Amino acid sequence: MQLGLAGKVALVAGAGRGLGRAVAVALGTEGARVALVARTLAELEVTAQAVRAAGGEATAVPADLTDERAVTAALGVIEATLGPPTILVWSAASFFTPARLHTVPPAELRRVLDLDLVAPAALVQRLLPGMMLAAHGRVVLVGSLAARGGVRGGTAYAAAKAGLLGLARGVAADYGRYGITANVVTLSFVDTERLALRLGGSAEARDRLTRATATRRIPTPAECAAPIVFLCSGPASAVTGAELEATGGAHLNTLV
Ligand SMILES: NC(=O)c1ccc[n+]([C@@H]2O[C@H](COP(=O)([O-])OP(=O)(O)OC[C@H]3O[C@@H](n4cnc5c(N)ncnc54)[C@H](OP(=O)(O)O)[C@@H]3O)[C@@H](O)[C@H]2O)c1
């Protein structure tokens, strides 16, 4: 299948490591011109090297995606170097210290909601005019099973991830007529540094997560990147407002 990604400009938010890095490499391999955004330039440079090693083109653009002025500056650089992005993959996420909601300081609540919901909505908003002009757009937001089942100590994160479903569906409904699709790829756990930090080296915790999957494996970043890249592609033009689980079956009831 031809994915039709050659020459398309893609912005990967959260491209410094983990899933975002895998998505950037996969998009670059398919010929997309990839803008890499996160705050840490050194990590973005590593991703850019990986994209180039895979034969792709990438530009590292460090920015805090919750900072409106930084986003404006980053989009200026991206448009000048690669052109206006018509593909957006949102893979950035906050780190949070697990705590029950009544103990979370209001500023921390806002910080998580700001990065995990307001920032992607604002970025989509900024990119829509260029997508409409190009009569082409692909928005893929990385979600979490937390949106469905909650996550202990992560209520704000779960609320934000649930909000991404509404964001994708709203954009899908309003902008489908301009050739723009918007979807969510829902994850359970992905074998990234983020997960390793959360597990704190506990083999028992890792085993518990593995047993929660149907595949008896925690999905790799590359495995989760593949359906994301498909949703960014030309042949995915009829898939919009959808939620696609890349969980290794962790969303299934595998207990009985
Ligand atoms: N890993 C899992 O098990 C898992 C499970 C369910 C869902 N997910 C979702 O999958 C996505 C990717 O997860 P991951 O494990 O790859 O996460 P990760 O390793 O924590 O990477 C997150 C990326 O977002 C960037 N980022 C964080 N805050 C930012 C900000 N204010 N502005 C710009 N960039 C920012 C980080 O770079 P800087 O810190 O340098 O900015 C990093 O590049 C996230 O949306 C996450 O919620 C992951």
Does 155 fall in a domain?
Answer: yes
Does 213 fall in a domain?
Answer: yes
Q: Tell me what the mean pLDDT of segment 215-222 comes to.
A: 96
d(CA 141, CA 42): 24
18, 187 Cβ separation under 8 angstroms: no
Burial 1-29 (b: 16+ CB within 10 A, else e): eebbbeebbbbbbbbbbbbbbbbbbbbbb
Does 132 fall in a domain?
Answer: yes
> How confident is the model over 225-242, as pLDDT tens digits?
999 999 999 999 999 999
Does 253 fall in a domain?
Answer: no
What CATH number does the domain containing 213 carry?
A: 3.40.50.720
Does 250 fall in a domain?
Answer: no
Q: Among 195, 181, 253, 255, which residue's Cα sits nearest to residue 224?
A: 195
Q: Tell me, what's the pLDDT at 194?
A: 86
HEC sequence for 147-185: HHHCCCCCHHHHHHHHHHHHHHHHHHHHHHHHCEEEEEE
Does 1 fall in a domain?
Answer: no
How confident is residue 256, by pLDDT bands cut at 50, 70 and 90?
A: low
Domains contained in the chain, number: 1
Does 4 fall in a domain?
Answer: no
Does 256 fall in a domain?
Answer: no
Number of C-beta neighbours around residue 161 at 10 A: 25
Domain span at residue 55 reads 9-245
Q: Tell me what the mean pLDDT of segment 207-211 comes to.
A: 94
d(CA 207, CA 184): 27
d(CA 76, CA 64): 14
> How confident is the model over 50-94, as pLDDT tens digits?
999 999 999 999 999 999 999 999 999 999 999 999 999 999 998
What percentage of the chain reaches a pLDDT higher than 70? 99
> How confident is the model over 9-25, as pLDDT tens digits?
999 999 999 999 999 99
Atom 13 in ligand 1: which residue has the minimum CA distance?
A: 19
How confident is residue 255, by pLDDT bands cut at 50, 70 and 90?
A: low
Atom 36 in ligand 1: which residue has the minimum CA distance?
A: 14
For ligand 1, say whether the CB of 64 is within 6 Å of any of its atoms.
yes
For ligand 1, say whether the CB of 195 is within 6 Å of any of its atoms.
yes
For ligand 1, say whether the CB of 19 is within 6 Å of any of its atoms.
yes
Q: Residue 171 above 90 pLDDT?
A: yes
